Chains A and B, each alone.
Chain A
Amino acid sequence: MNSNNSFFRKMVYLLILMMVAVPIVWLGRPSSPGDQGGKLAQERTEARLGQADLGAIDPASETIRLATLGLRGIAVTMLWNAANNYKKTEDWTAFQSTLEQLARLQPYFVKVWQYQAWNLSYNVSVELDNVRDRFYYVKQGIEYLMDGIGYNRDHPRLLDDLGWFTGNKVGRADEHEIYRKLYKLDEDLNPNDDPTLRDNWLASKHWYEQAVASVDEKGQSLSTMNPTTFFDSPARSQISYAEAIEEEGIFGETAKRAWRDGGRLWKEYGEREMPSTDDFMIKLVDENKWKLEAARLRNELDALDPGIEAKMKEEAQGQLTADQRRVWEALPADPSADEQKWHTEALGLMDVSVPKIAARIAKDKPENAAKAQSLAAQIEDANRRANLISSNRDVANYEYWRIRCDLEQSPESLKARDFAHQAEKRFAEGDPEGARELYEQSFVEWGKALDQFPEMPRDSTTGGDLMEFIEDYAVVLEQLDLSLEDEEVANRFVLWELLEINDQQRKFAGAIEAYKARKAGMPVPKRAEPGDAAGPNSLINPAEAVPQ
């Protein structure tokens, strides 16, 4: 009786404990993409609370940390080992679930999220053969990053990575055509079915914008990331989006709008004030401004003592020894050690730099000394800024993309791309003749478009893009038993200049020579067929191995 009573009492306690646990479970369940999680997780999402606001409060993570009884370090080490082992034995399911546990153990260790997301999206996905399975793991990596962002809100590095994964991994892989379709159809990655986030490039832009906002608005640090390549990301994703939809055959107003947005974002990027490697901020658009400023100041300096520079140069020339002078005037093709030394010395003497001029002015006209020194310092500063901006513009390839966005918006290039796309389709449908015509029309439009933008460098990415069309065109010609070497074809072709600059593999060397010869009125040289050089012992050519 007595013992029954106490047993009953204990059971009641146990039951009460369990019942207490039920709301805890309900409240504390962590969220995951496609699952809002428990009440706490929802509240946290709504209030956009991250670690910085809450401290390390996450019930799931705390539970697992408690469950390891303070042996978190050991547990983490074991899980990393287990994960490595699962990866080795190709047990992807277990690998992935181990990563999830790992992240729960150290949710505020950003490197873990980054490293393992990369592992999933880049290393695991390629281990699988089926494209859908591959995409599954790309997606798992993306979701893993999203989880990480849930814990580390407004972390620019994670957001930047997320932008990169959704953009580049989905949109630039060999399988990108299928990946992009699967991305659009996926219901986990875009749970609210936001139409602006359906395209992976637009989603990528969205995440990049969040990354930028985290720095701009939340005051997060860029840490070691390069600002020049960090801030251009949203614009780049927009441009990639425009490229991608054109590749998929969407032209006209939609494409134009996409390019316009790209151009706008790119310009905004150029006007953004960014930290630089020096102790001042830079704007990429300011290169000219600083160059002009330097020139203006230089004129001011020269005005203090007109003709001083020429005079100094003359004097310097007089100071050169015979040897120095000889090598300065003409450095031998294969200079000896002495000659090199003289050359350096001569260059040093002959370098009439701004500080030297300022010093000279100070000496010659002491009343202008202060002004000259100050001008010299300002000129140096302006030059430094101009140079730094210039090199950063090179890093971002700023000028090219600026022009490219404008070029692509022109009706001619939109038309040209449309023609090329149609040509490709026509050819696939078995109409090489139609394809040829369309390609030729496309090239004509290209020619017009490029003429409008003479500042567009011809050996740029655009050139590379066009080369693909030209190569496709060559394949079409081959089907028709024609070639760019044929006079008739060559006459219709308008992009010779571009072809010559961009034919790095010299596939069209024969055609170019023939064209040049014809232009110069010379006989057309005969050439061996390309491809004969490849002997029977060559490696398997992947293109051949593909079953037709």
Chain B
Amino acid sequence: MVVEQQLLPYFQWLLTGGENSLGALPSFFFVFLGVAMAALVIGFAIAASRYGILRGGDVTYKTVSEGLSELLQTAPRRVWAIARLAIKESMRRRVAVALGVFFLVLLFANWFLSTNHQEPARLYLSFVLTASTYLVLGVALLLSAFSLPNDFKTKTIYTVVTKPVRAGEIILGRIIGFTIVITGLLAIMGVGSYIFVVRSLDHSHTVELESFQVVTGPAGEDAGKKGTTSRDAGHRHELTLDAEGNGETTVENGHTHAIESIGENKYRVSPPLGFIRARVPQYGKLRFIDRSGAAKDTGISVGSEWTYRSFIDGNTPATAIWTFDNVSDAVDPKPPEAERSLPLSLIVRVFKTHKGVIGQALQGTIQLRNPESQLTSEPLPFDAQDQQVDDIDIPRKLLSQSRQEIDLFKDLVSKDGKIEVLVKCLDRGQYFGFAQADCYIRHPDGSPIASFAKVCVSIWVQAVIVVSVGVTISTLVSGPVAMLFVVGFIILGFWRQDFVDIATGKSYGGGPAESVVRIATQANVMVQLEDTLLNNLVSGFDKYFAKPIMWAVAQTLPDFRSFSTVRYAADGYNVPWDRVFQDVTVCLGYVIGLSILGYFLLRTREVAK
């Protein structure tokens, strides 16, 4: 799986952050402070224009101080009453239609998806999960953006705000209510999706008896049979059976079947196995040694536009070295202690400068090294399987380079639990490419259903943020405007990085005003604009006005893309809890921040206007 951004442990993420980032809590604090200051200034400006400077100040002070005390008076029962109302309203507004649409989408999905792919599970999972995401976001958008404006329009809000209900409770209650609705929707969609994927991928084969060839063991005894299965769902497997007639098929289209003998020439083929997985990787830290033996942070580039992986040259000292922490023989505690191994998974990207022998894989070696004592194991050769996850179990009993017997967990793991994995390419003139996530210690697979549920949580998080934004903004503007605002918010959220790149001048073509000029004059982004007064004004506007505003807005935008954990499920990896907790925390941050903002917006609004 491609991991371009390393996932930080939860508390590090929350408090201190990574190398180039601030902790989530401090940055929330800063953004909160920034928004609060901006709101205060704007609020005062409006109050001053309405009541004069002195009284305006007084009004502002009162609003803020009352607001703070009212926030403390929030009563769960009132919040719950509003939440229940929101749920009933959603029901009335035919949220069920979304479910209908969803099942219709599933019904028609087979038109566009086929199981006849190398990774059908990936296609199916990403399709249903993406469809669920868009549907749920759409529902969240429609529910939240139109609810309050509708109350204003029908004036039902009059009877509500003349009760001792606080503005914050109206906001929070709605967010909670719609969240509950979305949770329900998502639960149904999630179960539906899972069943759909499993059912769609389900197929069985029969064993083709005429394809059987008897396999004989070294002593000429009957060691089983080889053959193929029937062709179903666009593929067939090869199979090997032991002498009792039980066995397994080869992996085709990302799955296998188990075969069980049930009497003379009768076999039972299991449903597909391994379609939906939840691998649990433990990532290490990657560094390189180049061809001259010098330590480097990255390998060499082979000229690929995508710089995710970097490469080592074959048959030179060039090495990719991963350092893993917390290594012990307890990674997979099932086998007896003496037979435990270090389960590694390795993804190799092969780059060839010549064809080599066609049909023959390149060779590489793996060595393990103790980072303290530098004791190194003898190289274990492997065949490079380009762009595939290769599961390699390194046995406990190994030989050192001086061919002495050593124990992996006792001799190669340092006292603080670290081990180094060294990978080399053996073929001269050929290259292996690696990224940090390409080698990991493989813990026993997690439950695919649990992982799938965690993906749903990440969709849920996105929807809750949309609901919060929708409810908050709808205190201020009418329904359609609120909807457009939230759509804009979602779009900017999905393209946040591009937005930030424009704001920070990383992307070509200048800011918004300059782009308008470029479009009008048909000057492409690489052309230097002429040094005229107008152009200078335009770029000055961008530089001193538009871009700072864009930057400020970007600080409050969530990065919707990074919330999406669909990739994890699609690629067959377990969604880590750190990821889930981070997402939920961010979501909580938005709910709290937006509820407070929404409180003041609603509180300072003339309800009856």
A and B touch in the complex (CB under 8 A): yes
Q: Which listed segment binds B: A126-134, A371-379, A495-503?
A: A126-134
User: Chain A: which residue is nearest B114 at the CB level?
Assistant: A32
CB pair A18 B104 closer than 8 Å = yes
CB-CB < 8 A to B361: which residues of A?
Answer: 129-130
CB pair A547 B427 closer than 8 Å = yes
Nearest Cβ on chain A to B562's Cβ, whole angstroms: 16
Also in contact, A129 and B308, with CB within 8 A (given A25-B111, A30-B111)? no
Interface residues of B in 101-151 (CB under 8 A from A): 103-104, 107-108, 110-114, 116-119, 122-123, 126
User: Chain B: which residue is nearest A548 at the CB level?
Assistant: B357
Q: When chains A and B are docked, how far (Å) is the Cα of A63 from the Cα of B386? A: 38
CB pair A540 B111 closer than 8 Å = no
CB pair B108 A63 closer than 8 Å = yes
CB pair B428 A540 closer than 8 Å = yes
CB pair A129 B350 closer than 8 Å = yes
Q: When chains A and B are docked, how far (Å) is the Cα of A88 from the Cα of B236? A: 31
CB pair B103 A18 closer than 8 Å = yes
CB pair B107 A540 closer than 8 Å = no
CB pair A18 B355 closer than 8 Å = no
Asked whether any CB of chain B lies closer than 8 Å to the CB of A517, the reply is no
CB pair B358 A178 closer than 8 Å = yes
CB pair B114 A93 closer than 8 Å = no
CB pair B107 A18 closer than 8 Å = yes
Asked whether any CB of chain A lies closer than 8 Å to the CB of B359, the reply is yes
| Residue among B111, B352, B357 making CB contact with A547, cutoff 8 Å | B357
Asked whether any CB of chain B lies closer than 8 Å to the CB of A436, the reply is no
Q: When chains A and B are docked, how far (Å) is the Cα of A92 from the Cα of B387? A: 10
CB-CB < 8 A to B117: which residues of A?
Answer: 93, 96-97
Nearest Cβ on chain B to A541's Cβ, whole angstroms: 9
Asked whether any CB of chain B lies closer than 8 Å to the CB of A28, the reply is yes
CB pair B355 A21 closer than 8 Å = no
Asked whether any CB of chain A lies closer than 8 Å to the CB of B2, the reply is yes
Asked whether any CB of chain A lies closer than 8 Å to the CB of B605, the reply is no
Q: When chains A and B are docked, how far (Å) is the Cα of A30 from the Cα of B112? A: 8
Nearest Cβ on chain B to A249's Cβ, whole angstroms: 18
User: Chain B: which residue is nearest A173 at the CB level?
Assistant: B358
CB pair B234 A35 closer than 8 Å = yes
Q: When chains A and B are docked, how far (Å) is the Cα of A192 from the Cα of B551? A: 61
Asked whether any CB of chain A lies closer than 8 Å to the CB of B270, the reply is no
| Residue among A22, A32, A91, A547 making CB contact with B107, cutoff 8 Å | A22
CB-CB < 8 A to B308: which residues of A?
Answer: 89
Also in contact, A35 and B116, with CB within 8 A (given A18-B107, A129-B384, A131-B359)? yes
CB-CB < 8 A to A30: which residues of B?
Answer: 111
Also in contact, A542 and B429, with CB within 8 A (given A25-B111, A96-B117, A175-B359)? yes
Most buried by A among B117, B362, B385, B430: B117
Asked whether any CB of chain A lies closer than 8 Å to the CB of B266, the reply is no
CB pair B362 A90 closer than 8 Å = no
Nearest Cβ on chain A to B494's Cβ, whole angstroms: 12
Interface size on A, residues (CB 8 A): 45
Q: When chains A and B are docked, how far (Å) is the Cα of A14 from the Cα of B98? A: 12
**What are the interface flags for B382-402 relative to A under an 8 Å C-beta threshold, 1 for contact and 0 otherwise?**
001111000000000000000
Q: When chains A and B are docked, how far (Å) is the Cα of A28 from the Cα of B110? A: 11
Asked whether any CB of chain B lies closer than 8 Å to the CB of A431, the reply is no
Asked whether any CB of chain A lies closer than 8 Å to the CB of B305, the reply is yes
CB pair A97 B123 closer than 8 Å = yes
CB-CB < 8 A to A101: which residues of B?
Answer: 112
Q: Is the interface of B mostly helix, strand, loop or mixed?
A: loop
Q: When chains A and B are docked, how far (Å) is the Cα of A540 from the Cα of B108? A: 55
Most buried by B among A32, A93, A174, A188: A93
CB pair A175 B358 closer than 8 Å = yes
**What are the interface flags for A51-65 relative to B under an 8 Å C-beta threshold, 1 for contact and 0 otherwise?**
000000001100110
Nearest Cβ on chain A to B97's Cβ, whole angstroms: 9
CB pair B386 A128 closer than 8 Å = yes
**What are the interface flags for B406-427 relative to A under an 8 Å C-beta threshold, 1 for contact and 0 otherwise?**
0000000000000000000001
CB pair A64 B112 closer than 8 Å = yes
Nearest Cβ on chain B to A123's Cβ, whole angstroms: 13
Q: When chains A and B are docked, how far (Å) is the Cα of A129 from the Cα of B358? A: 10
CB pair B427 A25 closer than 8 Å = no
Nearest Cβ on chain B to A250's Cβ, whole angstroms: 21
CB pair B306 A90 closer than 8 Å = yes
Q: When chains A and B are docked, how far (Å) is the Cα of A540 from the Cα of B431? A: 14
User: Chain B: which residue is nearest A137 at the CB level?
Assistant: B118
CB pair A28 B111 closer than 8 Å = yes
Asked whether any CB of chain B lies closer than 8 Å to the CB of A337, the reply is no
Nearest Cβ on chain B to A120's Cβ, whole angstroms: 13
Interface residues of A in 152-183 (CB under 8 A from B): 174-175, 177-178
Asked whether any CB of chain A lies closer than 8 Å to the CB of B356, the reply is yes
Asked whether any CB of chain B lies closer than 8 Å to the CB of A1, the reply is no
User: Chain B: which residue is nearest A14 at the CB level?
Assistant: B100
Also in contact, A545 and B354, with CB within 8 A (given A25-B110, A90-B387)? yes
Asked whether any CB of chain A lies closer than 8 Å to the CB of B155, the reply is no
CB pair B118 A542 closer than 8 Å = no
Q: When chains A and B are docked, how far (Å) is the Cα of A89 from the Cα of B3? A: 12
**What are the interface flags for B353-371 relative to A under an 8 Å C-beta threshold, 1 for contact and 0 otherwise?**
1111111011100000000
Q: When chains A and B are docked, how far (Å) is the Cα of A545 from the Cα of B349? A: 20
Asked whether any CB of chain B lies closer than 8 Å to the CB of A534, the reply is no
Most buried by B among A14, A64, A130, A540: A130
CB pair B305 A34 closer than 8 Å = no
Also in contact, A88 and B306, with CB within 8 A (given A129-B362, A188-B116)? yes
Asked whether any CB of chain B lies closer than 8 Å to the CB of A322, the reply is no
CB pair B112 A60 closer than 8 Å = yes
Nearest Cβ on chain B to A345's Cβ, whole angstroms: 52
Asked whether any CB of chain A lies closer than 8 Å to the CB of B296, the reply is no
User: Chain A: which residue is nearest B427 at the CB level?
Assistant: A547
**What are the interface flags for A114-146 relative to B under an 8 Å C-beta threshold, 1 for contact and 0 otherwise?**
000000000000001111010010000000000
CB-CB < 8 A to B306: which residues of A?
Answer: 88-90
Q: When chains A and B are docked, how far (Å) is the Cα of A34 from the Cα of B117? A: 12
CB-CB < 8 A to B428: which residues of A?
Answer: 540, 545
Interface residues of A in 76-105 (CB under 8 A from B): 88-94, 96-97, 100-101, 104
CB pair B112 A25 closer than 8 Å = no
Asked whether any CB of chain B lies closer than 8 Å to the CB of A471, the reply is no
Nearest Cβ on chain B to A84's Cβ, whole angstroms: 10
CB-CB < 8 A to A174: which residues of B?
Answer: 355, 358
CB pair A32 B111 closer than 8 Å = no
Asked whether any CB of chain A lies closer than 8 Å to the CB of B203, the reply is no
User: Chain B: which residue is nearest A179 at the CB level?
Assistant: B358
Also in contact, A542 and B112, with CB within 8 A (given A93-B122, A175-B359)? no
Most buried by A among B122, B126, B354: B354
**What are the interface flags for B432-447 relative to A under an 8 Å C-beta threshold, 1 for contact and 0 otherwise?**
0000000000000000
Asked whether any CB of chain B lies closer than 8 Å to the CB of A29, the reply is yes
| Residue among A17, A18, A28, A129 making CB contact with B352, cutoff 8 Å | A129
Also in contact, A131 and B103, with CB within 8 A (given A88-B305, A101-B112)? no
Nearest Cβ on chain A to B435's Cβ, whole angstroms: 11
A-B contact pairs, 30 of them (CB 8 A): A18-B100, A18-B107, A21-B108, A22-B107, A32-B114, A34-B234, A35-B116, A60-B112, A64-B112, A90-B349, A90-B387, A91-B2, A93-B117, A93-B118, A93-B119, A93-B122, A93-B123, A94-B122, A128-B387, A129-B386, A129-B387, A177-B358, A187-B236, A188-B234, A542-B353, A545-B428, A545-B429, A546-B357, A547-B356, A547-B357
Closest CB pairs A-B (n = 8): A129-B386, A542-B354, A129-B350, A545-B429, A60-B111, A545-B428, A93-B119, A540-B429
B residues touching A (Cβ–Cβ < 8 Å)? 2, 96, 100, 103-104, 107-108, 110-114, 116-119, 122-123, 126, 231, 234, 236, 305-306, 308, 349-350, 352-359, 361-363, 384-387, 427-430
Known: A32-B114, A540-B353, A547-B363. 6 other contacts (CB 8 A): A25-B111, A30-B111, A128-B386, A129-B362, A129-B386, A545-B428
A residues touching B (Cβ–Cβ < 8 Å)? 14, 17-18, 21-22, 25, 28-30, 32, 34-35, 59-60, 63-64, 88-94, 96-97, 100-101, 104, 128-131, 133, 136, 174-175, 177-178, 187-188, 540, 542, 545-547
